[in-house]
Structure 1
Amino acid sequence: MQSQNRIAFKEWGAVCAALEQGTQSVIVRKGGIHEGEAGFRVEHSEFWMFPTRFHQGADQLQPAKSSLLNQTLSKEPESGKLNLSLYSVVEAVLELKDPALLPRLQSLQVLNAETIQQRFEYKNPGLFVLLVRVFRREQPVEVEQESRFAGCHSWVELSQDYTTADLKPVLNPEQFQEAQQAFQEIVDSAQ
């Protein structure tokens, strides 16, 4: 793990909450409209999670997970601020091209089947699934929101590096190994 980092990855607050709780260890990504014709690319192997609330709604989550949306709204800092408390390290990447494998993602993440299908079909069929090991800070770092953070793009460069020295893993090694095995089953099916 890097000792400090200034790269952040924009993701729905509800997904960040699931990552923080350890109920999700993958990120499903198609890409923002500002990411050009090529769409999303895994440009960084480690990053801070940048929770967003734009474009997310309870109707896009699995019914049993819709309460995650309220949890994220209750944790938001004062206007104009952002709390960084989660850090992700990418352990594996799958570029999923087979729509028949989409139902297998349901047990690994909180988005509902329709939302996953829409992401898959947007522009060129396919999407990325990132297996991430997630770490948490006890005390979040408060960051000033900047206008350059706005827009539909996945990656943000923060104005400074933040230390990773005090991070603790969300999942213990055995729990993460289970997540890894579930991810690997999808990878094996995709080949």
Structure 2
Amino acid sequence: MLNMACKEWAIICDALGSGEQILILRKGGIAEADDGPFRAEHERFWLYPTFVHQQETGVVPEALPRLHELIAARPPAHEIHLQQFAEVKFVQELRNFDTVTRLSRWHRWSESALQTRFQYRMPGLVLLALRIYRIPQPHIIPVRPEYDGCKSWVPLAESLSTEHATPVLADDAFEQQLATIILAAQSTNR
């Protein structure tokens, strides 16, 4: 059972849920406190796909066809579909944009979107490497007013079952990708 969710662009949730990506690069939402960098407040959370702020210029060109598919298949505005959850396996604050650039092969964001995020409030981003699990059928829950707003963390009104979840990547594939990302993040983040 799990009752915490983290908002992220639908295209990024899709990449995480398909195993194409195991990391997110975060900055806190506008509605969150301005007292330092984003914090991984929870070790496990549902991926809450959002279309707010998501735009074509925010993703790499190769991701545009999938972005258009996701927009066309978007759930009704009063529903949220939660099918993937994450376990945080590594956290690193990135204070050097060169480090962010070196991680580009492992995600779908455009460089300009990450530059904007990096510079917002104070320079830096937080890298979270995630192990993603998928349940067979999504939980379809109603949007509640307290879920709205520009914030990262969303406490859900009820705990949702993670029963029958399976990892989207095999153990070996995940561990290899994780080790490569950790090495890239730590060797260039000076």
- Contact map agreement 1:90 1:130 (CA 8 A) in 2: yes
Please state whether the residue corresponding to 2:86 is helix, strand or coil: strand
Measured after TM superposition, the shift of residue 65 of structure 1 is 1.2
2:18 paired residue number: 21
- The residue number in structure 2 matching 1:107 is 105
Alignment TM-score, normalising by the size of structure 1: 0.94
Most deviating of 174-183 and 48-57: 174-183
- Using the TM superposition, name which of 94-103 and 8-17 deviates more: 94-103
Identical aligned residues as a percent: 32
Give 3-state SS (helix, strand or coil) of 2:77's partner: coil
Tell me the TM-score normalised to structure 2 length.
Answer: 0.94
Give the Cα separation in 1 of the matches to 2:176 and 2:52.
31
Which residue of the other structure, out of 37, 56, 59, is the alignment partner of 1:58? 56
User: 1:172-187 maps to which residues of 2 (within 5 A)?
Assistant: 172-187=170-185
Structure 1 residue 188: deviation in Å? 2.5
RMSD (CA atoms): 1.3
Task: Assess if the C-alpha contact under 8 Å between 2:78 and 2:143 holds in 1.
Answer: yes
- More divergent stretch after superposition (72-81 vs 84-93): 72-81
Cα distance in 2 for residues equivalent to 1:59 and 1:37: 26
63-72 vs 53-62, greater mean Cα deviation: 63-72
* TM-fit CA distance, 1:102: 1.8
Counterpart amino acid of 1:34? A
By how many angstroms is 1:73 displaced? 2.2
Separation in 2, partners of 1:79, 1:11 = 16
Q: Deviations 1:19-50 (Å, cap 9, x if unpaired)?
A: 11111100110111111212521110100010
Q: Is the 8 A contact 2:3 2:155 kept in 1?
A: yes
Task: Give 1:76's match in structure 2, choosing from 66, 71, 74.
Answer: 74
What are the ranges of 5 or more consecutive residues in structure 2 without an aligned counterpart?
Answer: none
Contact 1:131 1:180 in 2 (8 A): yes
Please point out which of 151, 154, 159 is paired with 1:153: 151
Distance 2:73 2:8 in 1: 15
Would you say how many aligned residue pairs link Structure 1 and Structure 2?
188
Q: Is the 8 A contact 1:76 1:82 kept in 2?
A: no
Task: Supply the AA of the counterpart residue of 2:162.
Answer: T
SS at 2:31's partner residue?
helix
Instruction: Kindly state the Cα deviation for residue 118 of structure 1 after the two structures are TM-superposed.
Output: 1.1
Q: Which residue of 1 is the match for residue 88 of structure 2?
A: 90
1:7 to 4, 18, 43: 4
* Cα drift, residue 74 of structure 1: 3.6
1:127-165 deviation digits (Å, cap 9, x = unpaired) = 101000001111101000011111110000111001112
Query: Quick check: 61-70 or 80-89, which moved more?
Result: 61-70
Letter in 2 for 1:66: L
Alignment counterpart, residue 34 of structure 1, candidates 27, 31, 34: 31
1:139 is matched with which residue? 137
SS in 2 for 1:71: helix
Amino acid at match of 1:184: I
